[in-house]
Amino acid sequence: MSRREDYKRFIVFCLASLVIIAQAAAFAYVWYDYYRGLIEEPFWRKGNWALIAIYALINTLFSKLYGGLKVGYLKKIDVFYSLTLATICTNVVAYFQITLINRWFLNVGPMIEMTFVQILMIILWIFGSRFIYSRLYRARKLLVIYGDRDPGDLIHKMNSRSDKYNISGKVHISFGEERIHKMMNEYEGVIIWDLPSSIRNRYLKYCFDHSIRCYMSPKISDIILTGTTRIHLFDTPLLMSRNHGLSVEERAGKRILDIIVSGLGILITSPIMLIIAICVKAYDRGPVFYYQDRLTYKGKEFKICKFRSMCVDSEKQGARLASKNDSRITPVGRVLRNLHLDELPQLFNVFKGDMSLVGPRPERRVIMDEYEKEIPEFHYRLKVKAGLTGYAQVYGKYNTTPYDKLKLDLFYIENYSLLLDIKLLFMTVKIFFQKEVSEGVEDTQVNALKDSGEKVSEEKRS
C-alpha cells in the first residue's frame, strides 16, 4: 500500500509540475518577445533565467496556498478557481516586478493576454490531469462504522465526491468487534463515525496495527489536543495544553496586522462603499447601515456595522437566521450577500479594535444563549476576538451546523499563527467567487441547532 501511495504522490507531483512549467513558459515567451526589449538595461542570460525561475516559484507558492495543485482532491471547479486566482496574483506580482526593473510602468496588455492564455492552459490541464488520475486511481472503497447516530448526512456529503470516495458499506458497532475487524480488512479504508471514545480508540489501534487508512469525526477534546506542546523533561511523554487563547506576542502581532490591512482596505474600497450606500438608500429610502450587538473576546458586546440587506422591519417578529430564499432580503441586499459586500463596513470595526480580520464570526447574545443550551462548549469561541472572516467561513458554509462551526473555530484557536491569519485572508478572496459559501439555511433543512444538540449528546455519552 505504501508503494502505491508513493507512486501516487509522484504522479501528482509530475502533473502539478506540468502546469507550473507551462505557465512559466508562457511568461518566458512574453518576457523575451516584448518586455525584455523595452528594458533600458537588459538582463544577461542568467538574469533572464532567474526572473523566469522567480515567476515559477511565486506561481507555485500561490497555487499551493489556494490548493490548486491538489490533483484528485478538490472538485474541478474548485481547482479552476484556485489556479486562476493564483495565476492572476502571480501575474500582478510579475508585472510590478518588471515595473521596478524598468523604473516605470510598461504596457500591461501583453500580461493580460498572457493571463487569458494561461487560463485556457488551466482548463485543459484540469480535464487532462483528472482523466489521468481517475484512470490510475479509482475511488477508495470505504466502510463506515457508526454508533447510535446514523451516518446518513456524512454519506450524502461523501457521495458528492464519488470520484474520490466509494462508500461501499456501513455497519453498526452492535455487529461485534471481531466480525467488524474481518470486514475492515476487505476495504481500502474505514470511517469511524461518532463512536464512544473507548470503542473508537480500539478501532483506531486496530487500523494502526494493520495499516488501514482511517477517517474519523473529531470530538471537541481531540481538537483541543491539536494545540498541545510536547514536554520532554522526563522519560514519560507529557502533553501540555495552555488553554489561555493567544499569547501577548500573538495578540500584538495580530493587532498590527489588523490595523495595517483594515486601514488599506478602507482606503481602497471607499469608492465601492459609496456606490453601495447610494444603491441601498435609493431602493427603499431606509437607513444605509445596519447596527447590531454582537459578542467578541471574553463575551464583550460591540456594535457590528453592515450594509443593510433586509427590509427595514425584518426583525419585527424576533431574531432568526436568514434562510436561503428569505423574503426579508431586498434585491440589492441579495446581490450584496452573494458577493459578501454587505460585510465591508466591518473594516471600521476591525480598525477600531472591536473585532479582528480573522477569528470566529460574532454571534448575537440571544443566538449564543440558544446555542449554549444544546452546545455548552459554544462559548469556547470567545477565547479570541471575533473576526471579519474565519476558519469556519473558509472551510465551511453559511448553513454548516453550529457544532461543526465550533469545531472549525477551535481548530483555528488551537493552531493559531500569524501565517495562518495571512493564509485565511488570501483564502477568503477565493470564497468570494463560490456562491455555496454564502448560502442561507435551507427552508427544508432539519433544524441545525437540534442536530448539533444530538451530536453533543452523543459526545457526552462517550
Q: Looking at the 3D structure of the chain, how many domains does it have?
A: 3
What is the pLDDT, as a whole number, of residue 237?
Answer: 87
What is the pLDDT, as a whole number, of residue 104?
Answer: 85
- Do 165 and 275 sit in the same domain of this protein? no
Cα dihedral 213, 216, 220, 226, rounded to 10, equals: 20
Is residue 203 assigned to a domain? yes
Is residue 242 assigned to a domain? no
Residue that finishes a domain, picked among 103, 136, 169: 136
What is the pLDDT, as a whole number, of residue 456?
Answer: 54
Is residue 295 assigned to a domain? yes
> Could you tell me if 250 and 418 are in contact, meaning their C-beta atoms sit under 8 angstroms apart?
yes
177: domain CATH number? 3.40.50
- Do 176 and 120 sit in the same domain of this protein? no
- Do 74 and 96 sit in the same domain of this protein? yes
> Could you tell me if 279 and 332 are in contact, meaning their C-beta atoms sit under 8 angstroms apart?
yes
Alpha-carbon distance of 25 to 163, in angstroms, equals 31
Q: Nearest to residue 212, comparing CAs of 143, 138, 134?
A: 143
> Could you tell me if 346 and 355 are in contact, meaning their C-beta atoms sit under 8 angstroms apart?
yes
What is the pLDDT, as a whole number, of residue 446?
Answer: 39
- Do 190 and 44 sit in the same domain of this protein? no
Is residue 358 assigned to a domain? yes
What is the pLDDT, as a whole number, of residue 443?
Answer: 41
- Do 404 and 303 sit in the same domain of this protein? yes
- Do 201 and 79 sit in the same domain of this protein? no
- Do 195 and 255 sit in the same domain of this protein? no
120-145: pLDDT as tens digits? 999 999 999 989 988 888 888 999 99
- Do 60 and 177 sit in the same domain of this protein? no
Domain span at residue 308 reads 248-461
Is residue 302 assigned to a domain? yes
Overall pTM surpassing 0.95 (yes/no): no
Strands 229-231 and 238-240, how do they pair?
antiparallel
330-370: pLDDT as tens digits? 889 888 888 889 999 999 999 999 999 999 999 999 999 99
- Do 153 and 105 sit in the same domain of this protein? no
- Do 342 and 410 sit in the same domain of this protein? yes
Is residue 41 assigned to a domain? yes
What is the pLDDT, as a whole number, of residue 276?
Answer: 95
- Do 118 and 163 sit in the same domain of this protein? no
Q: How many other C-beta atoms lie within 10 A of the C-beta of residue 416?
A: 21
> Which ranges of the chain have pLDDT less than 70?
1-2, 4, 40-42, 314-325, 398, 433-462
